[in-house]
Amino acid sequence: MRLITFTRAGSNTPEIGARLPNPSGDHILPFADVAKQLGLLDFPTDMRAFLGAGVSAMEQAKAWVQAAKEYSQLQLDSQGIHFLPPVMNAEKFLCVGKNYRTHLEELKRTNLIKEIPQEPTSFIKLNSCLSGHEAKVVRPKGITRLDYEPELVFVIGKRALGAKKEEAMDYVAGVTILNDLTCRDLQLREVASGSRFWTGKNIPGFGPLGPEIVTIDEIPDPYDLWMTCSVNGEERMRVNTKDQIWKISDILEHFSRFIPIEPGDMFSTGAPGGVAVGKENAEELYLKPGDVVECSIDSISTLRTTIIE
């Protein structure tokens, strides 16, 4: 199932639903309309509440998607909606850094790290920086080194406290994609000063997320996925998630030792190797106004972003 958060044309009210892939054009099944038709007035209306409602809400939504033809009159054309970040109000969005072996080599060459961490590390991605699929993201005035970072994100579906590695996937609702846009101008200054706030990753718009949460039952093996990134149709990177140092099982066990991880919380699992900053011709590769960036889980989902001045 492909879970999305969206607004309809002419409305500012976020809704949740499912994207129904179709060769002739995708359709959207709005859960609020189906629930209203069935008299289910207490069905969750935002993604975090939906995930928090547990198995019953998830199974109900899957049943609606499987019977989508029965609700054809309620379906919306995907061209008539505006995609929002699938989870807009996560309590915690933790981005695990330095998690791909190929990316670590890039960071060492460019002096962005001095040593390899011995356990998972993370920084906070602020909700205020998130944007949705097909978003137009402003490159701030004076910023010239804007980099792309496609990342696999795990969305948590039930509360985890003291979770063990062997049961980690029981807590995962699905996966989505983050383009962890990074202002290298600011990041280099922060590294030099010892700051860990990561301003260069939390500028408004610098968190394109989506387009959807692909439920975990549709992911054959999360540790064997090709993550790709293209700019204006040119593929810039292609890396397999096998290259991750810490898997979601390691990450969830580590971070849930003392802090409860709640439904709707997210873990981004790090940037693969191949970002602009690691290339000899980096200045040519940094994103410029007019660039269209596509981050993909190959053959599964694609997140598209346009950079504007």
Strands 15-20 and 27-30: antiparallel
* Regions of the chain where pLDDT drops below 50: none
Res 187: pLDDT: 78
Res 189: pLDDT: 77
Res 128: pLDDT: 96
Res 287: pLDDT: 98
Placement of tokens 């044309």 in the chain: 9
Q: Are residues 278 and 255 in the same domain?
A: yes
Q: Are residues 104 and 226 in the same domain?
A: yes
Give dist(CA 44, CA 173) in Å, integer. 16
Q: Are residues 126 and 255 in the same domain?
A: yes
Helices (H), 46-173: 47-52, 55-66, 101-109
| Phi/psi of residue 277, nearest 5 degrees | -60, -25
Last residue of a domain, one of 54, 84, 114: 84
Res 19: pLDDT: 97
Q: Are residues 232 and 284 in the same domain?
A: yes
Res 115: pLDDT: 63
Res 107: pLDDT: 62
| Count of positions (residues) in the chain | 309
Res 268: pLDDT: 96
> pLDDT by residue (tens digit) across 176-232?
999 999 998 887 777 767 676 678 889 999 999 999 999 999 999 999 999 999 999
User: How many domains does the chain divide into?
Assistant: 2
- Residue 191 belongs to what domain range? 93-308
Q: Are residues 108 and 69 in the same domain?
A: no
Q: Are residues 75 and 124 in the same domain?
A: no
User: Could you tell me if 256 and 162 are in contact, meaning their C-beta atoms sit under 8 angstroms apart?
Assistant: yes
Q: Are residues 80 and 118 in the same domain?
A: no
Res 180: pLDDT: 95
**Gyration radius of the chain over CA positions:** 19
Q: Are residues 146 and 223 in the same domain?
A: yes
User: Could you tell me if 191 and 210 are in contact, meaning their C-beta atoms sit under 8 angstroms apart?
Assistant: no
Last residue of a domain, one of 41, 59, 84: 84
User: Could you tell me if 165 and 250 are in contact, meaning their C-beta atoms sit under 8 angstroms apart?
Assistant: yes
Residue 174 belongs to a domain with what CATH number? 3.90.850.10
The percent of residues above 70 in pLDDT, for the chain, comes to: 93
Q: Are residues 239 and 118 in the same domain?
A: yes
Q: Are residues 57 and 198 in the same domain?
A: no
Q: Are residues 134 and 268 in the same domain?
A: yes
> pLDDT by residue (tens digit) across 155-191?
999 999 999 999 999 999 999 999 999 998 887 777 7
Q: Are residues 115 and 229 in the same domain?
A: yes
Res 230: pLDDT: 97
Last residue of a domain, one of 58, 84, 110: 84
